[in-house]
Amino acid sequence: MEKLKLLGTYTSPFNRRVMWALKLKGVPFEYIEEDLFTNKSELLLKSNPVYKKIPVLIHNGKPISESTVILEYIEETWPENPLLPVDPHERAIARFWIKFMEDKDKAKKDCLEVLRTIEEHGLKEDKKFFGGTNIGLTDLVFGLLAYQWELMEEIVGVKLMEVHSFPRLHTWAENFKSVSVIKENLPDRDRLFARLKGRKEVLVGSSKSH
Contact between 50 and other proteins by CB under 8 A: the answer reads yes
Cα–Cα dist 97/159, whole Å: 24
Tell me the C-alpha distance between 17 and 71, whole Å. 8
Q: Based on CB atoms, which residue is closest to other proteins, 96 or 162?
A: 96
80 binds other proteins per the rule CB under 8 A: no
- In the list 62, 80, 157, 209, the residue contacting other proteins (rule: CB under 8 A) is 62
Residue 108, interface with other proteins (CB under 8 A)? Answer: no
Name the minimum Å distance from CB 62 to other proteins. 5
Q: Tell me whether residue 142 is exposed, middle or buried, using C-beta atoms within 10 angstroms of its C-beta: 0 to 12, 13 to 18, 19 or more.
A: buried
144 binds other proteins (CB under 8 A): no
- Interface with other proteins, residue 3, by CB under 8 A: no
Kindly tell me which of 77 and 81 has the beta carbon lying closer to other proteins.
77
The two beta strands, 56-59 and 62-65, are: antiparallel
Q: Is 61 exposed, middle or buried (0-12, 13-18, 19+ CB in 10 A)?
A: exposed
Nearer to other proteins, 48 or 207 (CB): 48
Q: How far apart are CA 210 and CA 39, in angstroms?
A: 32
Q: Shortest approach of other proteins to residue 76 CB, angstroms?
A: 4
The CA distance from 133 to 130, in Å, is 8
Is position 76 an interface residue for other proteins (rule: CB under 8 A)? yes
199 binds other proteins (CB under 8 A): no
Beta carbons within 8 Å of 204's beta carbon, 6+ residues apart: 156
Amino acid at 84: L
When asked if residue 113 is in the footprint of other proteins (CB under 8 A), the reply is no
Residues in contact with other proteins by the rule CB under 8 A: 50, 59, 62, 64-66, 68-70, 72-73, 76-77, 88-89, 91-92, 95-96, 99-100, 117, 121
